[in-house]
Amino acid sequence: MLTVALQQGINGIVLGSLYVLVALGLTLIYGVLVQINFAHADIVTIGAFAAYFFTFAFGGNYLTSIAVALMVGAALGWLINAAIFQPLRERGSELLPLIATIGVSVLLQNVMLLWFGPIPYAFDSPYSNEVVRFAGTFITWQNLIIITVSTLTIALLYAFMKFTFLGKALRAVAQDRETAGLMGINPNQLIMLTFVIASALAGMGGAMLGPILVLTPFAGTTVIVKAFAIVIIGGFGNVEGTIIAGILVGLIESYTTQFLNPGLIDIVVFTLLLLMLAVRPTGLIAEKREENV
C-alpha cells in the first residue's frame, strides 16, 4: 500500500506540474490586468502542435521542441496583445478585452481546425517508454523532464518577479498602474511583457502536455478548465497560491484515480472548488493587490 501511495504521489506531482505551468499564465494576466484570458487554452494547443511538427515533420529533437513551443507561444502572445487587446484597452473599457479573448479563442480553434483537421494526432515522445525504477516505484523519463522543466521554469519566474528590475516594475503595475506610470514605468510595455511570459508558459505547457493528451485543435480546453479551478483555489492573481493549488489538484486527481474511480476526478476537483468558494472565497492565499504576481 505504501508503494502504491508513493507511486500515485509521483504521478500527482507530474500532473500538478503541468497544471501549474498552464495556470501561472492565467494568474499573471489576472494579477496585472484583473482580466481573464479565454484564449489561453488555444495557445496551449498551438504550443503542442508546434512541438509535434518540429519533432516529426522537421526531424527535430523533442527537448528542443519545448523551447520552440515556448517561442511560438511568446510570439503569439505578443501578436494577440499588440493587434487586439492593447487597442481595446486604450478605449477605456474593461469589458471589451474580455469579450475579445472569447473571439480570439474561437478564431484560433477554427484556424487550427482548418489547418490540422479534426482527426487526432499521435504525439509519442521518445522518452515516454524509458523508465527509471526505484523503491518499487517507477517514473518515465518523460515525466522526469516535465518535473525538471516545470521546477526550473517556476524558480526562474519567481526569481524574475522578485529580484529583477522588470519583475519589480511589473509588480508595481499590478499594484497601481497609474502611479507606476507617474514613476517613469511604461505600463503598456509591462502589460506586453506579461502577455508574452504568460503565452510562453502556455506554449511550453502544451509541448509537455502533447504526449499525454489526444492532440486535436480543442486539446487545450480539457486542461484550461482545471487551470481556472486552480487559479480560483489558489487565490486569483497569486503566484504562490497557484503553485500550491496546482500540485494539490494533481495529487487529488492521482489518488482519486487509484483509490476511488477515474470517473470521479472532475467531481472531486470541482467539489473542492465549491467548498473553497463557500468556506474561503479568497482562495488558499488571499488576494492582496500589493502582493499579486
Q: Where are the domains of the chain?
A: 2-291
- Per-residue pLDDT band at 92 (split at 50, 70, 90): low
Does the structure show a pLDDT above 50 at 174? Answer: yes
Q: pLDDT at position 49, please?
A: 94
Q: Which residue has the cell 492565467?
A: 26
Write the pLDDT tens digit of every residue in 255-265. 888 777 777 77
Q: What is the mean pLDDT of residues 119-133?
A: 83
Percentage of the chain beyond pLDDT 70 is 95
61: number of Cβ within 10 Å: 12
pTM: 0.89
Q: If you search the block for the grid coordinates 489518488, which residue do you land on?
A: 255
Instruction: Report whether pLDDT(43) > 90.
Output: yes
CATH tag, 2-291: 1.10.3470
The one-letter amino acid code at 99 reads I
pLDDT tens for each residue of 192-236: 999 999 999 999 999 998 888 888 888 888 888 888 888 888 887
Q: Which pLDDT value is given to residue 290? A: 47
